[in-house]
Amino acid sequence: MIEAVLLDFGGVVFRNKEEYEGPKGQLQIDPELWYQARLGQIDDDVAFTSIGKNYGVDSATVLNWLLSKREPNQELLDLLVQLRPGIKTAVINNGLKSLFHGLLDKYNLKNRFNVLVNSAEEGVEKPNPEIFLRTCRKLEVAPEACLMADDDQKLLEGVENLGIKTILFSGVSDLRKMFEDLNLLV
C-alpha cells in the first residue's frame, strides 16, 4: 500500500514558463560549476556570478532571471489536495539551494509538502539511491510504500530496485490515473 508520493521538483511540481525575465535560450554556464553547485560543493552565488559574467550582469540579476523562469504546476497541486488523508508527500530536487527554496518561498509552497529534499543540501542527487532512502527516512515510510513521479526516466533508474514504485511523469492526467488505480484519492 502506498503511504507517500515523492515528486520531482523541476518538470513535475514546477514547470518552465514560456516567457521570463532573462535572455532567451539556455543560460551559458560551465557544466562542472553547475554540477558542483547542485551538490552543495560551492556556494550558489559562485555559479550565478559565473553566469552573470557571460551577460554583463551581477549574480542577483541571474538569480532573479532563474526565479522568474519557473512557475508551479497548479494542476498537480490541485490533484495533491485530493490525496487520501495520511498520504505523505515529498519533493526531491536536483538543484541549487537558493533556487529550490526561493521558488518554494516565492509561491508559498513549503507547507504543502511533508518533506523537502534538495541535492545541494544532501550532497547527493538523483538517481543515486541514497537520496531516495534519505527521503523515505525523513517521511518515516518504507521505500516499498512510496510512489516516485519524475519527468526524466534516467532519474528513475535504480529506484525500483529499492522497492519504490515509479511513474514517468508526462502530465497530470497520467498521474491522476495512477493515483486512482492505487486508490490514493478521496
Average pLDDT along the chain, 186 residues, taken 10 residues at a time: 98 93 88 97 97 96 96 98 98 98 98 98 97 98 98 91 96 98 97
DSSP 47-83: HHHHHHHHHT--HHHHHHHHHTSEEE-HHHHHHHTTB
Would you state the pLDDT for residue 162? 96
Instruction: State the residue range of the domain holding 35.
Output: 31-67
> Looking at the domain assignment, is residue 149 inside a domain?
yes
Number of domains in the chain: 2
Residues 120 and 54 in one domain: no
The confidence score (pLDDT) of residue 158 equals 74
**pLDDT on residue 65:** 96
**Cα distance between residue 134 and residue 117, in whole Å:** 8
Q: 44 and 91 in one domain?
A: no
Rg (C-alpha) for the chain, rounded Å, is: 17
pLDDT of res. 157: 86
Q: What is the pLDDT of residue 137?
A: 98
Give the CATH number, domain containing residue 151: 3.40.50.1000
- The predicted structure's pLDDT at residue 60: 97
Who's near 173: CB < 8 A, 6+ residues apart? none
Residues 121 and 154 in one domain: yes
- 62 with 79, same domain: the answer is no
If asked whether residues 86 and 165 sit together in one domain, one would say yes
What's the rounded Cα separation, in Å, for the pair 28 and 30? 7
Same-domain pairing of 53 and 111: no
3-state secondary structure of 131: helix
Note whether 52 and 79 are same-domain residues.
no
CA dist 94 and 54 (Å) reads: 24
Helix or strand (DSSP H, E) at 88: strand 88-93
Same domain, 109 and 133: yes
Same domain? 85 vs 61: no
CB 96 within 8 A of CB 27: no
The pLDDT score that the predictor gives to residue 1 is 95
pLDDT given at position 37: 98
Q: Is residue 47 part of a domain?
A: yes
Alpha helix (H) ranges present in the chain? 31-38, 44-55, 59-67, 74-80, 97-106, 119-122, 129-139, 153-156, 172-181
Q: What's the confidence (pLDDT) of residue 79?
A: 98
Q: How far apart are CA 166 and CA 93, in angstroms?
A: 16
Threshold 0.85, pTM exceeds:
yes
Q: Is 31 exposed, middle or buried (0-12, 13-18, 19+ CB in 10 A)?
A: exposed
Answer yes or no: are the C-beta atoms of 163 and 148 closer than 8 Å. Answer: no
Q: Are 165 and 183 in contact (CB under 8 A)?
A: no
Whether 77 and 160 share a structural domain? yes
> Grid coordinates 511523469 are at which residue?
169
- 55 and 85 in one domain? no
